[in-house]
């Protein structure tokens, strides 16, 4: 059986090479509204469910893996969603170079690559520098929603968060379950469903800008 050909949807796919300086989200989405960014969109399960439920919110997904990015563009494009954009780029560089101060309502970081080998820990996205960058991008009282199945990475996340709390950058708040989360789920992504079958727990953390 031949696999279905993935389609490109220019209205959804943002080309990194077209970006110059900081983004104007109103121009990017062709409308005004609160902006939420998902870092590591995978196959787009979260974006699909959330964008359908909150039509007035603008969702931007960032994904580095080309196969997942292309799948998500095709999937979201076929639904004809007007409030979603996707970009394939390095998330840390994108935030630093293209996202204005106090322009984002919330960040979603679900099951990021844990880089389990100790020598690779420096590649983990959630670190002191990137948390400060997200805090800069957030509007006052903006928030960050985080979930992981990896205990060691979660311990690091908590340590980074505690330091940010002590520095007065953020405070810890209750985790907001996305609309796609089913019974017993925290997020409802493909990764979580796979890990639940393997008996792995999901650890959550949520922060709000001070």
pLDDT in tens, 155-174: 999 999 999 999 999 999 99
List residues with catalytic annotation.
Answer: 113
CATH of the domain at 101: 3.40.50.150
Q: How far apart are CA 62 and CA 85, in angstroms?
A: 9
Distance between first and last Cα of the chain: 54
Q: Is position 19 within any domain? A: yes
Provide the token pair at 59.
Answer: 């969702």
- The pLDDT assigned to 115 comes to 84
- The pLDDT assigned to 1 comes to 53
Provide the token pair at 74.
Answer: 């095709």
- The pLDDT assigned to 73 comes to 97
**φ, ψ (nearest 5 deg) of residue 115:** 40, 70
Q: Is position 4 within any domain? A: no
Q: How far apart are CA 139 and CA 168, in angstroms?
A: 15
> Number of structural domains, the chain?
1
pTM: 0.95
- The pLDDT assigned to 120 comes to 85
Q: Is position 5 within any domain? A: no
- The pLDDT assigned to 195 comes to 87
Domain range for 133 = 13-209
Residues lower than pLDDT 50 in the chain: none
Q: Is position 8 within any domain? A: no
């Amino acid at each position: 059986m031949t696999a279905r050909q993935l389609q490109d949807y220019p209205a959804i796919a943002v080309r990194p090479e077209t970006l110059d300086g900081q983004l104007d989200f109103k121009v990017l989405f062709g409308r005004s509204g609160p902006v939420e960014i998902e870092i590591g969109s995978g196959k787009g399960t979260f974006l699909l469910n959330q964008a359908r439920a909150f039509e007035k919110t603008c969702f931007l997904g960032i994904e580095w893996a080309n196969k997942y990015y292309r799948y998500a563009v095709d999937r979201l494009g076929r639904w004809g969603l007007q409030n979603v954009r996707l970009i394939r780029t390095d998330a840390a560089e994108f935030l630093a170079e293209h996202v204005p101060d106090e322009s984002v309502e919330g960040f979603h970081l679900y099951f990021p690559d844990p880089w389990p080998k100790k020598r690779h820990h420096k590649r983990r996205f959630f670190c002191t520098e990137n948390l400060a960058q997200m805090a800069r991008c957030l509007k006052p009282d903006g928030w960050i929603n985080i979930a992981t199945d990896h205990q060691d990475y979660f311990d690091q996340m908590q340590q980074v968060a505690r330091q940010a709390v002590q520095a007065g950058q953020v405070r810890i708040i209750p985790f907001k379950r996305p609309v796609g989360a089913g019974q017993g789920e925290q997020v409802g992504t493909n990764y979580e469903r796979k890990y639940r079958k393997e008996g792995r727990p999901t650890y959550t953390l949520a922060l709000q800008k001070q």
